[in-house]
């Protein structure tokens, strides 16, 4: 990982050196003149020679500056856990206080510890509102504890989408996990196998409450079930569409600084070109369009829930 970063730095240093040398040779050639003994030897005016070197250095400096030799603020967002999306190390984060929801009783407490790029970034404690969303909270708690079908757990699941200040999507299981094989016999007598999400079976519910997504640190799941994934709101003004298809099941009690860190992860930002490709692909039912859309806002660093569990 460090090799890639150093390779880019060395490449920029070489570019700065080459540009400086080429420009210097050109400008030195322009200032050649006769010396005091010019009738016998050619020479270079030292003052003009120095000026040429300085101007060449100015031309090459931008390349050297971008190389960040010895700099402490520049970083590689793909590998450095403390690097922002602009390639500068994060110095301070806006940390919001946990929401105050006096009307809802915290019945269960769970913890989650996160890692990004292989480095631990912190732990959060979540309080769940079982009385407000009983089935959804039960599924969430069992996923934390690893007691769901086939031992499924949030441990090692991914933080797969971060829309800064809008939403943090978590709990995506590894490819193939959470799938159940369903066999059926078709009209010709052949056995057909199909894999369906385990979340589609046994997690359906009719939970509902009056809580809105209007505060930082709220935890929610998809209304009606059918998914293990969940969302944490990172700011006081999260995605307004969450109220349409998600239900609040709890809140972050401790670790809002970790939520702020997740909110500032460097992500794969969408572009107009990419969005055009996605729209065209969807129009012709190209599966690659869906894969490309899933890649939008995906953290550049692999970020996972490393450990999780129930707190007594």
| Alpha carbon distances (Å) from 264 to 38, 81, 88, 165, 253 | 65, 10, 12, 9, 20
Reported as type and span, the H/E element at residue 245 is helix 242-245
Are 122 and 257 contacting, i.e. CB atoms less than 8 angstroms apart?
Answer: yes
Residue 285 has a pLDDT of 85
What pLDDT does 298 receive?
A: 93
- φ, ψ at 283 (rounded to 5°): -65, -30
Band of pLDDT at residue 222, cut at 50, 70 and 90: very high
* Secondary structure (3-state) at 138: helix
The reported pLDDT for the residue numbered 39 is 41
For the chain, the maximum distance between any two Cα atoms, rounded to a whole number of angstroms, is: 105
The pLDDT of residue 202 is above 70: no
* Least confident span in 89-98, 196-205, 226-235: 196-205
Q: Write the pLDDT tens digit of every residue in 19-68.
A: 666 655 555 555 454 444 444 444 555 566 566 656 655 555 554 444 44
Angle between helices 287-294 and 272-283 (to 10 degrees): 150
- Range with the lowest mean pLDDT among 63-77, 118-132, 223-237, 270-284? 63-77
Residue 219 is predicted with a pLDDT of 97
Q: Write the pLDDT tens digit of every residue in 258-270.
A: 999 999 998 988 8
Q: What is the DSSP string of 188-212?
A: TS-EEEEEEEGGGSS-------S--
Given this model, what pLDDT does residue 27 score? 54
Q: What pLDDT does 41 receive?
A: 43
Q: How far is CA 102 from the centre of its chain?
A: 32
108, 102 Cβ separation under 8 angstroms: no
Return the percentage of the chain with pLDDT > 70, whole number: 66
Lowest-pLDDT range, 107-111, 189-193, 270-274? 189-193
CB 252 within 8 A of CB 232: yes
For 2, phi and psi rounded to 5 degrees?
-70, -30
Tokens of 84: 């922002």
113 touches 306 (CB < 8 A): yes
Segment 100-109 shows an average pLDDT of: 89
Spell out where the chain has E strands.
32-34, 42-44, 108-116, 119-128, 158-163, 167-172, 179-185, 191-197, 218-222, 230-232, 246-254, 303-311
pTM for this predicted structure: 0.71
Whole-number average pLDDT of the chain: 79
Task: Say what the alpha-carbon torsion angle 205, 209, 214, 217 is, to the nearest 10 degrees.
Answer: -60
Nearest to 13 by CA among 57, 60, 73: 60
Enumerate the β-bridge partners of residue 305. 114
* DSSP per position, 93-137: ---PPPP--TTS---EEEEEEEEETTEEEEEEEEEE-TTTSHHHH
| H helix and E strand count, the chain | 7, 12
C-alpha span between 122 and 112 (Å, rounded):
9
**The two three-digit tokens of residue 78, written as one number:** 């793909």
Does residue 104 carry a pLDDT above 80? yes
């Amino acid at each position: 990982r460090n090799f890639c970063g150093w390779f880019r730095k060395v490449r920029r240093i070489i570019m700065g050196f080459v540009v400086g040398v080429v420009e210097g040779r050109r400008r030195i050639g322009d200032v050649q003149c006769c010396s005091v003994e010019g009738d016998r030897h050619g020479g270079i005016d030292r003052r003009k020679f120095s000026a040429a070197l300085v101007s060449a250095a100015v031309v090459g400096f931008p390349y050297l500056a971008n190389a960040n030799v010895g700099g402490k603020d520049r970083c590689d967002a793909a590998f450095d856990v403390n690097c922002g999306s602009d390639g500068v190390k994060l110095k301070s984060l806006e940390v919001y206080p946990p929401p105050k929801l006096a009307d809802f009783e915290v019945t269960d407490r769970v913890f989650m510890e996160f890692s990004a790029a292989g480095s631990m970034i912190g732990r959060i404690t979540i309080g769940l509102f079982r009385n407000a969303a009983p089935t959804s909270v039960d599924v969430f708690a069992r996923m934390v504890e690893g007691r769901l079908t086939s031992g499924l757990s949030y441990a090692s699941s991914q933080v797969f989408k971060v829309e800064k200040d809008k939403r943090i999507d978590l709990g995506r299981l590894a490819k193939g996990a959470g799938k159940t094989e369903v066999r059926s016999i078709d009209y010709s007598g052949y056995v057909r196998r199909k894999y369906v999400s385990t979340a589609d079976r046994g997690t359906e519910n009719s939970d509902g409450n009056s809580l809105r997504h209007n505060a930082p640190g709220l935890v929610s799941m998809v209304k009606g079930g059918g998914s293990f994934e969940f969302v944490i709101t990172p700011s006081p003004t999260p995605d307004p569409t969450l109220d349409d298809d998600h239900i609040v099941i709890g809140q972050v009690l401790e670790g809002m600084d970790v939520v702020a860190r997740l909110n500032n992860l460097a992500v794969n930002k969408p572009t107009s070109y990419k969005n055009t490709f996605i729209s065209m692909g969807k129009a012709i039912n190209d599966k690659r369009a869906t894969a490309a859309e899933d890649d939008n806002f995906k953290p550049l660093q692999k970020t996972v829930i490393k450990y999780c569990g129930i707190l007594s």
